[in-house]
Amino acid sequence: MILSDVIVVGAGLAGLRAALELNRYNVKVAVVTKVHPVRSQSVAAKGGINAALGNHLRGKYDSAELHAFDTIKGSDYLADQKAVLTMTSQGIDRIYELEHWGTPFSRTEDGRIAQRPFGGADFPRTCYAEDKTGHVLLHTLYEQALKFEAASERAEMKIYDEWFVTRLIVDKGAAKGVVALNINTGDLEIFSGKAVIWATGGSGRVFGRTSNAYISTGWGMCVPFYEGVPLKDMEFIQFHPTELYTNNVLITEGARSEGGFLLNCKNERFLANYEDSVKAMEMAPRDIVARNMQREILAGRGIKGKYLHLDLRHLGKKKILECLPNMRMNAIHFAGVDPIDEPIPVIPGQHYTMGGLDVNIYAESKIKGFFAAGECACVSVHGANRLGGNSLLETVVFGKIAGESAAAYVKEGAIDDTSAAFLNAVLREEDEKISRLLASKHDERHAAINCELGEVMDASAGIFREAQFMNAALKKVKTLKERYTYIGSISPGRIANFDLLWAIQLKGSLDLAEIILQGALNRQESRGAQFRTDFPMRDDKNWLKHTIATLKHGSIHLSYSPVDLSLYKPKKRHY
């Protein structure tokens, strides 16, 4: 058994930021992560991180309030407004802090942090480091974690990497730790603590065509869900307008913000033909651009009927090499296209999970001692559609807040009254589950089910949704869940058994798929990223509310909760 004050699960930006905060409060912390910290999905974030620094020539009159308004409007008014303001106002200090810690941001001519315009924002407020912002931020936080880890004057902070969490331990209504499998030795261990912070990221791999890493399976969101933490607004899935046609690697929004054009087969900037994107064009928010792109493809104006072109040639070699070097290499590696000479073949694809574990502005959930931050959580600051550059901001702002809240919870005397017998029983249960799975002689393979799941989610829960298709999809997902109970023929042994890990995580993907479909089907309106062809209008009277999914006697139950509208009144969105 590994003892700590707080267990942080996940070591991307939110998890590391939470751990650093706990260490500042002199609280002992164990960070448990299934991949080494720098392998987390945060590393793949590209375009930037938003804050109203006002460093751009056109940004002089920017403010946290205006940033909050843009975010709320972008969310199609489903974001909780005070939570958004918290993020945008604390965000400014978080960016300076990252700079102080060594983040190599790109610079303005007067040597300050450079900012670029991003979709849905009235001012250029997206701070960036070329097109590798997530990479430099994650490495900065990892470097600080190593520094904090080495500091001997404070309580211990230790990163346990390549430990896969199988269960959240909840005793008498309070979170008390996790059970985790050491991937490299096969040992199952209890991490016992007084509080748990969850920061396991998104769940893009529930879909087939996604920009997310292989590791974003959705298992991370499901582990607390199984123990009673509700999931909020899961039907809101962001589809990023520009992913490579070949394998869905992300082409940053920065490519459009630097001046790239989206073209159809007639070489036409088609966004001008749509009412909601005519003014902002390529800089309209992601939901609108993705939708209009899909409409073009469906109308037969795609290139070869399948994809669209993102043309950067007019930017010139110098600008592309200076501002978008990583994007260029990705286009070369994965599409065989050099954006300096040729347009990039792109399609919209799954990119971000707006919903997540239901937490409040203090990162607290309804389970005592359980906190969550980052993409796995839903505060909600993104509502029905996230603006580009706000996800990185959310990780560092709410990562810190989660750290503060957990530190306060521990210091206010959270009692450690969980008996060793209880913990050992939980460990035995988890151990038996794994042994049973390994011993299963059934022949359903996780890969086959996973592949079918991706296909059905792409087809029915994508950019355009309709009741009849979602009903069919729900049926299909239930069949897949049934088949999952016959999963087997898993490679034996526990050492570095990735076959086993994928098989376990598939359960999470399946459950999330059902929650997404249920939520989308119930919500008879179009808002932000959810577009119902059978209900094409936003319906504030009936649906300006959060979807809350809980588990009741093993089946998924949906209820609804109010949205905080205390700052701005909902209006129609135009860009």
Partner 1 sequence: MEKKKTKQFKIFRFNPKTDKRHYFDTFDVPYEAGMTVLQALNYIQRNLDGSLAYRSSCREGICGSCAMHINGKYCLACETQVIHVKGTVTIRPMAHLDIIKDLVVDMNPFFEKLKAIKPYLIPGDPDEGAERIQTQDERAYLNTLVDCILCGACYASCAVNGFDEDYLGPAALAKVNRFFMDSRDKADEQRLALVSDEHGVFRCHTLFNCQVVCPKNVNPTANIANLKRQIIARSLTVKFSKKGM
Distance, in Å, from the CA atom of 393 to the CA atom of 374, rounded to the nearest integer, reads: 9
Distance, in Å, from the CA atom of 181 to the CA atom of 185, rounded to the nearest integer, reads: 8
Neighbours of 216 (CB within 10 A): 28
Distance, in Å, from the CA atom of 215 to the CA atom of 303, rounded to the nearest integer, reads: 32
On whether the CB atoms of residues 246 and 334 are closer than 8 A, the answer is: yes
Task: Report the catalytic residues.
Answer: 240, 256
State the residue for tokens 């016959």.
486
Polymer length of the chain: 575
Closest to partner 1 by CB, 81 or 103? 103
Q: Which residues contact 365 (CB under 8 A, 6 or more apart)?
A: 224, 229, 230, 357, 358, 359, 371, 372
DSSP characters for 140-161? HHHHHHHHHHH-SSS--EEEEE
**Least distance CB 447 / partner 1 (angstroms):** 3
| Token pair in block for residue 203 | 């769940």
Q: Which residues contact 479 (CB under 8 A, 6 or more apart)?
A: none
Closest to partner 1 by CB, 100 or 411? 100
Burial per residue of 542-561, b for 16 or more beta-carbon CB atoms within 10 angstroms, e otherwise: ebbebbbbbbeeeebebeee
Interface ranges with partner 1 (CB under 8 A): 35-36, 38-41, 43-44, 53, 95-97, 99-102, 104-113, 129-130, 132, 135-136, 139, 143-144, 146-147, 149-150, 184, 213-215, 246-247, 249-250, 326, 329-330, 333-334, 336, 445-447, 489-493, 495-499
Question: Shortest CA distance to 560 belongs to which of 550, 540, 546?
Answer: 546
DSSP state of 461: S
Helix (H) or strand (E) run with residue 11 in it: none
Closest to partner 1 by CB, 236 or 245? 245
**Least distance CB 94 / partner 1 (angstroms):** 12
Question: Shortest CA distance to 255 belongs to which of 333, 339, 133, 332?
Answer: 339
Closest to partner 1 by CB, 278 or 447? 447
**Least distance CB 504 / partner 1 (angstroms):** 13
Closest to partner 1 by CB, 43 or 271? 43
Closest to partner 1 by CB, 271 or 449? 449
